[in-house]
Amino acid sequence: MHFERNFAFLVRRARLLLGETQSEFAARFGVETSTVSRWERGFVKPRPKALAQITKMATKTDPFRSEDVIMASPVIKFMAS
């Protein structure tokens, strides 16, 4: 698992915490739904400004904000294999 692919986990987590579909999340960032899908699968990285907003969304409502908790996620472990 490459550390830079953590953005895929953050994108999906942020979207799910907001309770939005990929289409709704795409509208929020002014991108196509397929772009959000590629973000979530780790194929395309969001632009820096969008990634900063997504990271904030993914950790804002969660009491477990530490990077160690994120890295311990079953999703991250699965992506590493």
CATH classification at residue 46: 1.10.260
Total domains in the chain come to 1
The predicted pLDDT at position 25 comes to: 96
Q: How far apart are alpha carbons 14 and 7 in whole angstroms? A: 10
pTM for this predicted structure: 0.69
DSSP string for residues in 54-77: HHHHHHHT-S---HHHHHT-HHHH
> Residue 58 sits in which domain range?
3-80
Full pLDDT tens readout for the chain, 81 residues: 444 568 898 999 898 888 899 999 999 999 999 999 999 999 999 999 999 999 888 876 555 555 555 555 666 556 665
The pLDDT value given to residue 74: 61
